[in-house]
Amino acid sequence: MCGIIGYIGERQASTILLNGLKRLEYRGYDSSGMATILERKKRLSIRKLPGKIRTLEKLLNKKPLTGTLGIAHTRWATHGEPNKLNAHPHLDCKAEIAIVHNGIIENYAELKDELIKEGHKFRSQTDTEVIVHLIEKYHTNLSLKEATRKALTKLKGSFALGIVSCREPDKLIGVRWGSPLVVGVGKNENLLASDIPALLDVTKEMIFLEDEEIAVLTQNNIDITTFSGIPVKRKPLHITWDVSQAERQGFSHFMLKEIHEQPPVLEGLLRQKIKDGEVIFAELEPKREEILAKKSLCIVACGTAYHAGLVGKYLLEELAGLPVAVDLSSEFRYRNPLVDKDTLVIAISQSGETADTLAAVREAKNKGAFILAICNVLGSSLTRESDVVLYTYAGPEISVASTKAYTAQIMVLCLFALYLGRLRSVLCVEAQQKYLNALKKIPQLAEKILKEKDQIRRIAQRHAHFGSFLYLGRNINYPSALEGALKLKEISYIPAEGYAAGEMKHGPIALIDEYRAVVCIAPQSRIRQKMISNIQEIKARRGKIIIITTEGEEEVRGQAKEIICIPSVEELFSPLLIALPLQLLAYYVAIKRGCNVDQPRNLAKSVTVE
C-alpha cells in the first residue's frame, strides 16, 4: 500500500505536498519522492530517495522544488527494492511526464517487454514505470487525458494514479481503479490523494472517486469522467474527521483498522495467486526442481509468526505430505538443528527484521538448507538473505499486535501447501479444486464475522475484569489458542495461556475455578466431541466459559451462555476465521481496561535485538 498526493493551485506545491505525504506515512514509508512543474518554464523537476519522508524533507530543504503543480509519493514496495531508482515519481524517457501510483500492475512484465522492443528505456524494476511509458507512447499525438485513457486500456491490476506533464502544465490528472483516490476541493487550488488525512490541512470538501473514473484538475475546475468518457457529476462531501482520526480511517486504533483490513488483504492474495483454477507462484518457478527435491520442511519464526507456522505444519503435512518441524527462532539458533541440503526452511516474519529469525536463517544456510521466506516487507533483511520470498502484501502493519499479517501468513501457507501438494503429485486436481473453492469464500466469511463485532465487544466487556484467561484448542486450532492468548496478554497485560485442550487433565485443569475465564475454540470438527468433553470438565469446576464455534453446532452452543459463532468453513482453513473473534476479544478487553492498544508497554513492533 503506498500513499500518493497531487496539488494544483496558486501556492507553491512542494510544502503542501510534503505535509500531505507525512499524513500518509502510515501507508508506507520505505522510500518517497516528489515532482513539480514550473509552469512558465514548462520544466519538470524531481527529488526522490529511499528512507522515511523526513529524508525527503531534508533533501528538499537543501534542494527546494518550485512550481504550483506537483505530485508526491510515499512507498510500500511491492516490486523492486526500496531505492532511489524504484522510488516514485517515475518519468517517461524525455522526462516530460511524471506519475505516482498506488496498487499493483499484474501484467507489467509483458507490457515492459513490448515497450522495450519499441525503444523505451527503463530506469527502475517497478511495475509502475510501464504506465508512464505507455502514456508517453500515446501523448505524442493525444492530449494527456486521452493518452492516459488509452494507456489504461492496457493495464491489468489495481491503480490509483497522479499524473502531470510539462507539455500541459495547467493540469493534474487522477485515475482510480481498485485503489482509493480522493479529490480535495479548495479555493483556487485542487488536490488529489490516496486518503483523507493528506488533504485535511487544505480542505474538508472532498470528492471520492469510484473505480473506472478519471479526474482532470485545474486550479479552478474539476472534471470527472468514466474511463469511457461519460461525464460524472458528484457533489463534494464535507469531512468532519480530525487528522489523527483520519489516518486511522475513522477507526479508534490502528489495530481495529488492521483487523478490518483482513478481508481485502486475503482477497488480494487469492486474486494474485489463483489463476485458472491453479495456485501460481511465479516467484518459485526458477527454483521448482530444487523445492521438489526437498525431503523435509522446517519452519522458524517468533511470536505470532510462530503461531502461523504451527498452523502451517498442519496444512503442509495434510496437503503436501511432507514432515514439518516448527521451531521458535530463538531456540533453533542455539541448538544443533538437524537441517541440511535436503531441508526446505520456511522463515516467517512480518517485519523481516526480527533478530532471532535472521540468526536462525543464517544458521540454517550454514548447514546447506534452502530458505523460503514469508514476509510483509519488501527489501527487508530477511528477504535479502533468503533463496525465495513469498510476500504477504498485507500493507504496513502499524499496530504492535499483529493481526492482518498473521492471517495473511496463514493464507500464504494455505496456498503454498496446495502448490506443493500439486508439485509433489500428492494432491489431485479435484481435491485442489475443492480446497480452492473453500479458500475463495474466506474473505466474505471474514467480513461476516466483523459485522458481528458488537456481540464480541459485549462479551469482552463482561469478562475484562478476570485476572487470568486460559485458551483451549485442538488440532489445527491449537495454534489458534496460543495466538488468542498472546493477543490478549500483549495488549491487556492479563496473564493468558494457550493450551492444547487434550492437555487439560495433565495439569491446567488445576487452574479452573470461577475466577478463571476459559476460551474454548470448538469449531465444526471431526473431534468436536473431545472439545465438548473438555467444556463439560470446565463447567464442572465453575470455570467461566466463552465458546467460539461454528454456526449450527447446536450441541456445542448448548454448553455455555457466552457463544461466538463463525460461519461454516473447511476445517483446515478455520484458523483464518477463528483469528478474528480472538483479535476482537483481546482488543475490546484491552479497551475496557484502558490500555494503550497500538503501543502496549514494553513491546516494539519489530524485535531487532536478541
Which positions are catalytic? 2, 605
Query: What ranges make up the beta strands (E) of 449-558?
Result: 468-473, 496-500, 516-522, 544-550
Dihedral angle of Cα 173, 178, 179, 180, to the nearest 10 degrees: 80
Nearer Cβ to ligand AGP (191/372): 372
- Whole-number minimum distance, CB 491 to ligand AGP, in Å? 8
- Whole-number minimum distance, CB 265 to ligand AGP, in Å? 15
Residue found under cell 544458521: 363
8 A C-beta contact, residue 215 and residue 26: no
Task: Give the Cβ contact number of residue 29 at 10 Å.
Answer: 21
Gap between the Cα atoms of 107 and 157, Å rounded: 7
CB-based contacts of 468: which residues, under 8 Å, 6+ apart?
494, 495, 496, 497, 511, 515, 516, 517
Gap between the Cα atoms of 515 and 380, Å rounded: 44
- Whole-number minimum distance, CB 414 to ligand AGP, in Å? 18
Nearer Cβ to ligand AGP (426/604): 604
Please enumerate, as own/partner, the contacts of 147-156 that have beta carbons within 8 Å and a separation of 24 or more. Answer: 148/173, 148/175, 148/214, 149/214, 149/227, 149/229, 152/177, 152/214, 152/227, 153/227, 154/107, 154/111, 155/105, 155/107, 155/111, 155/131, 156/105, 156/106, 156/107
Gap between the Cα atoms of 329 and 340, Å rounded: 17
List helix spans (H) across 426-527.
429-440, 442-451, 453-463, 478-492
Nearer Cβ to ligand AGP (36/492): 492
- Whole-number minimum distance, CB 104 to ligand AGP, in Å? 22
Sign of the Cα pseudo-torsion (352, 354, 358, 364, in order)? negative
Name beta bridge partners: 297.
324, 344
Half-sphere exposure of 363 (CA within 13 A, CB side): 22
Nearer Cβ to ligand AGP (224/301): 301
- Whole-number minimum distance, CB 256 to ligand AGP, in Å? 14
Nearer Cβ to ligand AGP (53/400): 400
8 A C-beta contact, residue 214 and residue 175: yes
Query: Which residues bind to ligand AGP, rule: CB under 6 A?
Result: 302-305, 349-351, 354, 357, 400-402, 490, 606-607
Nearer Cβ to ligand AGP (302/398): 302
Name beta bridge partners: 547.
520, 563
Strand 222-226 relative to strand 231-232: parallel, antiparallel, unpaired?
antiparallel
- Whole-number minimum distance, CB 5 to ligand AGP, in Å? 29
Nearer Cβ to ligand AGP (203/357): 357
- Whole-number minimum distance, CB 349 to ligand AGP, in Å? 3
- Whole-number minimum distance, CB 393 to ligand AGP, in Å? 15
Look up residue 89 and give its amino acid.
Answer: P
Nearer Cβ to ligand AGP (111/401): 401
Name beta bridge partners: 565.
549
